[in-house]
Structure 1
């Protein structure tokens, strides 16, 4: 048993290294999109990649069964070892610049660090000056290279760059003013040794201190395992605090996204890996072939992990203080209880089915009253063409008393008691709770010339009418709230962006002067100009003669579009539309995608209003209301681009 202990410790170390590789790769994937536009994330992803390369190579060396491949993997490991110091200094420089410190000498030191790292990498890959022939530990199967003559020079460079990096982060911490940013930078400073501690080739030093082959003593294995464990925890803390850089989302949103991603991707992968190792080593004990045991155990593990994340998501969020704000909890409850268009249709269909059953009629329907006339919401049973049913009637009469009106926009409805008789239908208005507004109508196919409901039928029908009216009223109130929120959304996004930029930028960001407004942008009819240009998106006088042609961004874009102002303006409109596109996979009916879908379907694809409304599962009146908000957002985006262009031109001057 004692003889097998080194092998067990080596296996445990391999598992820990594999977990670090999995989590490191997941961190890079998680931040890959932001790394393209944010310097902090770009530098951090570079650092993580080099660390992952170093750990992956070491893991491959321990699993290699062909001795000829050992040296190749050991030299491949130096891609990470040689470039970690430069990447670490690069990250510290971007963190310091984020707090407002000017780069000055650092703008030259960062590329110089990468150049020196590449020189050491070349020496490690193609010569024996830095590292030389591999050494294999016969006791624990731990292989490594021997130190070459200039290895002390590399070690000095490695720790000098590390010390400089820590000094830069310390300076960044000193420049932080708010408590939150100071706490984050303090945690970053305390965990900044994770990369150098994890990748520095200590075994080269041990090998040089010994005589020939390095024999790793048994007591050193717990130290190696503990060191890897500490490094993994430090990287976790570093990731958790650097995730806030380069995003305009609130801190709570960043925490929740990071938590969900880490739970579903690297944590699940690590658990599956652990189960694989345990089952593959013990499958004979279970009395099953290795393939069968592995198949069942891995599938069961994936299912159980996903189930646990789904079932205990809310308790875990509370445990880790995610989404713990009372306002957020209120919004979550509202999101679970929203009355969507489909929910309304299902409820109204249930009411109509009950109406048909109670009144013994084959057809009933509910229509909402809109400025354009009645809009059918739900129907049960065979119904004539709605356009023919609703045409030629003076539906404004419903907003008045039960007395017949002499409306001149259509034929008067025949009032019989509380009903209006129109063609083959009995119609009752659906009023708001205060009975001040007619929200819609509920119609049933007539079973006789005049309404002849019994007292019991009239009582049941009254209850059903009230429920249908309340559903319509609640939907209208909800849509009004959505319209207000959607109108405020650009301002909220702007404030969040400003908050994100000012978190570490402070006074320079908050006190910067706003550029002067463009005459076109400041025109009171600017939104109408944008709407007209969108209506003729693929050509027409409202696009070719649009006043938007005078915008600086359109003039600047002409060089990229064959000096054609129409194509340039269309490109600007398309860019503004794309700015309304949310992150993630496109969905036709979710609230966050509605505005972008309206713009893309209505103007870019040129579909009819009726087709767009049907595809987005909304009424045409609701579509027009949301379209107005979407156009306002596009106009605001174009105005922002124009002001940014003017600001850039003034800086160049």
Structure 2
């Protein structure tokens, strides 16, 4: 093969590598920006990635049209990234050392600031003058000649790189666990590679080849080798750095990186390969390249998303949920299999709609039997919750027998407007789960014996599904209660103090916190009792919360008014959408809080309006107060986390 072929091939491969660097560095940068940007390691790494992205984008623009008049502009704009590389490398090394507990007493911080100022000066001089680069040369490759101050930058780069490497070496030496030492060791081995890959080697080639023939083949080969090393080391550096600045478990971080890499970087690289290859193929086949590329890219996107969706569980099993992470795999399965309240509502509506279609009626409903009494679960048609409850009571009294004893189709409880069927988990001997009501048919359709038997069989099937759904809903409600308590306990630990992966303890700002949700709910209950004024509100522990102090300016510097504003805002956030109902289960918490505390009504007046006995009302009121307490807990936690981020910055 001729020399020209190899030069052309190396140019093509070098352009592909440049685009890969842009996509890789850009995607990692976006991933960092979507995470905890307040963390010093993440922030410093993002600055270095920005430098890499800028330089690589300029390389790509030059490769698109190396003979353009704008090439000199792109070569100068590269120094926006090149100039800041030494400062970014030192910044990242300083941040890594700080995470191990060796916080700067001012010297490293001042050096870092001075380096950024020096980098800014170099950037301005390189882009606006000829002190660092000058005399653009287009052949045999586009490059700039060295200026009189370029050795200053070279010395600056080498000095910063050596000092930064020494700081990372100190950070590795301070690691005391095998896992953290292993990650820091990987960082140490590849730490300088991305920065070294950005060094303007074309200027050195100009110095070496001055007065000699410029060997393009050697330069292209060196560029390909350097870009390949940069790509490998870029991702090798990004992986261990992803674990900094997050309190998430390793398995969660690994899963995020895997999904982000597949749907971001991997997809972009495949599309790039498809576009380049289809351009060549279209030329061979004599097709319009634009049409061919569009079809190929659209098909590739759809195919890739399907392949990623299918293969992701297997890849997670190999790289994330390994043998030592069985519990994490179970948690993933639980999140995929549990039904949310919206899911249950959809299934209930589907069952009721199928029952209406089967019996050719317009209305059906489901009632749940709870320790607090019957509550409307779901309904289709024009039925109201009040008529549903009345139908149960009226139908039972008219038939003169206990409805809990009937389950068969022939023993339906006959009402004036409805047929009501008891639902059991496992037959008549098991506890009653609730009722399924169907609008009574005034004029039954004429059906053959076979059609009647099929209709009865299908309706029994729908009743069984409704019973299983109610049983599953009750079980999953218990699961969610346990998860809520567990999450509250975990949040409490995070509020008290966090230990990062290198053993450093980050203390939260001091504030009075309850020991558990019950104590917090007691504070809320006391404040709600005197919501519009009284000693329990004026002396409430909730007045010391940060979120209350934050509202003082908007409430005339009055702590009690600020607390009133927050409590009423939380109550309004619990208001469901749609028309208000006094008997719908979705409105229970809001109705209790709004009528009992905002309107100030007595229990004896509110309970009858909500069709509850007083013991039942107090149980529901406790749940409503705990929900308000939970909302306040989340608001305070969010404030403290933001306060911590600002402190670390």
TM class by smaller structure: 0.7 to 0.9
Separation (CA, whole Å) in 2 of partners of 1:58 and 1:367 = 68
- Contact kept, 8 Å, 1:551 with 1:642, in 2: the verdict is no
2:552 paired with 1:558:
yes
Corresponding residue SS for 2:500:
helix
Is the Cα contact below 8 Å between 1:351 and 1:464 reproduced in 2? yes
In the superposition, relative to structure 1, how do residues 268 and 238 fare at CA in structure 2: closer, same or farther (>3 Å)? same
- 1:75 and 1:259 mapped to 2: Cα distance? 36
Deviation larger for 263-272 or 427-436: 427-436
Aligned twin of 2:114: 112
Select 2:471's aligned residue among 450, 473, 492. Answer: 473
- Does the aligned pair in 1 maintain the 2:495–2:637 contact within 8 Å? no
**TM-aligned CA distance change 1:332 to 1:212, over 3 Å:** same
The answer as to 2:521 corresponding to 1:527 is yes
SS at match of 1:102: coil
CA deviations on 1:514-557 (whole Å, 9 max, x unpaired) are 95746x88997642543686899xx9559986835631633465
* Distance across 1 between alignment mates of 2:12 and 2:100: 43
- Partner SS, residue 307 of structure 1: helix
Bigger Cα displacement from structure 2, 356-365 vs 276-285: 356-365
Q: Shift of residue 199 of structure 1? A: 0.6
**Can you list the C-alpha shifts for 1:498-528, whole angstroms capped at 9, x where unaligned?**
897331134x45xx7995746x889976425
1:52-110 deviation line (CA, Å, top 9, x unaligned): 11122222223335543222211111111110110111111111111111212211111
Seen in structure 2, the aligned counterparts of structure 1 residues 10 and 647 have a Cα distance that, compared at 3 Å, is closer
Equivalent residue number for residue 634 of structure 1: 631
Q: In structure 2, what is the equivalent of residue 328 of structure 1?
A: 328
For the structure 1 residues 477 and 273, does the alpha-carbon distance in structure 2 shift closer, same or farther, using more than 3 Å as the test?
same
Q: Distance in 1 between matches of 2:334 and 2:36?
A: 34
Matched, 1:486 2:488: no
SS in 2 for 1:527: helix
> Residue 501 of structure 1 is aligned with which of 494, 499, 516?
499
Shift of 1:262: 1.9
Deviations 1:264-299 (A, max 9, x none): 122222222222223334422121012222222222
**Is 1:198 paired with 2:197?**
yes
Q: Tell me what 1:251 maps to.
A: 250
Aligned counterparts of 1:19 and 1:335: Cα–Cα separation in 2: 35
- 2:214 alignment partner, SS class: coil
Corresponding residue for 1:9? Answer: 10
Aligned positions of 1:227-626 closer than 5 A: 227-322=226-321, 325-341=325-341, 344=344, 365-370=365-370, 373-378=373-378, 384-391=383-390, 420-433=413-426, 435=429, 437-445=431-439, 465-495=463-493, 501-506=499-504, 508-509=505-506, 517=512, 526-530=520-524, 547=540, 550-551=543-544, 553=546, 554-555=548-549, 557-559=551-553, 562-565=556-559, 568-569=562-563, 601-602=573-574, 608=580, 613=586
C-alpha displacement of 1:447: 6.8
Instruction: Check whether the contact 2:364–2:383 (CA below 8 A) recurs between aligned residues.
Output: no
Task: Measure the CA separation in 1 of the matches of 2:42 and 2:289.
Answer: 42
Q: Equivalences for 1:166-181 in 2 at 5 Å?
A: 166-181=165-180
Relative to structure 2, which stretch is displaced further, 15-24 or 632-641? 632-641
Using the alignment, how far apart are the partners of 1:55 and 1:641 within structure 2?
38
Shift of 1:319: 3.6
Instruction: Pick closer, same or farther for the CA change 1:641–1:42 going to 2, 3 Å.
Output: closer
How far apart, in 2, do the equivalents of 1:625 and 1:297 lie? 60
Three-state SS of the structure 2 residue aligned to 1:244 is coil
| 8 Å Cα contact 1:246/1:500 also seen in 2 | no
Structure 2 unpaired stretches of 5+: 443-448, 590-609, 611-615
Greater shift in the superposed pair: 156-165 or 126-135: 126-135
CA gap of 1:219–1:442, structure 2 versus 1, over 3 A, is same
Q: Distance in 1 between matches of 2:577 and 2:363?
A: 37
Inter-partner Cα distance in structure 2 for 1:284 and 1:455: 68
Candidates 115, 121, 124, aligned match of 1:122: 124
Once the two structures are TM-superposed, the CA of residue 484 in structure 1 deviates from its matched residue by 1.3
**Partner Cα distance (2:463, 2:585) in 1:** 30
1:360 and 1:316, CA in 2 relative to 1: closer, same or farther beyond 3 A?
Answer: closer
In structure 1, the residue matched to 2:159 is 160
- Give me the whole-angstrom Cα distance separating, in 2, the residues matched to 1:167 and 1:86: 15
CA shift in 2, pair 1:641/1:385, >3 Å: closer
**Using the alignment, how far apart are the partners of 2:643 and 2:330 within structure 1?**
42
Question: Aligned pair in 2 of structure 1 residues 421, 91: CA closer, same or farther (>3 Å)?
Answer: same
Does structure 1 retain, via aligned residues, the 8 Å contact 2:511–2:545?
no
Which consecutive residues of structure 1, in runs of 5 or more, have no partner in the other structure? 406-412, 578-597, 649-653
TM-score, with normalisation over the residues of structure 2? 0.78
**How far apart, CA to CA, are the structure 2 residues paired with 1:236 and 1:29?**
14
Alpha-carbon distance in structure 2 between the residues aligned to 1:533 and 1:216: 82
Q: Deviations over 1:129-177 (max 9, x none)?
A: 2222123332xxx222222222222111101111111111111111112
Over 3 Å counting, the alpha-carbon distance change for 1:284 and 1:469 in structure 2 is: closer
Distance 1:134 1:534 in 2: 75
Aligned residue-pair number:
598
The superposition leaves residues 462-495 of structure 1 with CA deviations (integer Å, 9 ceiling, x where unpaired) of: 7765553332112101111111102211223455
Deviation at 1:347, TM superposition (A): 5.3
CA 1:631–1:180 in 2, change beyond 3 Å: closer, same or farther? farther
Larger displacement relative to structure 2 (70-79 or 460-469) = 460-469
Superposition deviation, residue 7 in structure 1: 2.1
How far 1:368 sits from its partner (Å)? 1.1
2 CA distance for matches of 1:521 and 1:639? Answer: 14
CA offset digits 1:9-55 (Å, max 9, x no partner): 11210111111011211111111143542111111101100111112
Distance 1:336 1:132 in 2: 61
In structure 1, the partner of 2:57 is: 56
Please identify, of 539-548 and 484-493, the stretch whose mean Cα deviation from structure 2 is larger: 539-548
SS in 1 for 2:96: helix
In structure 2, the CA distance between the partners of 1:64 and 1:284, relative to structure 1 (3 Å rule), is: closer
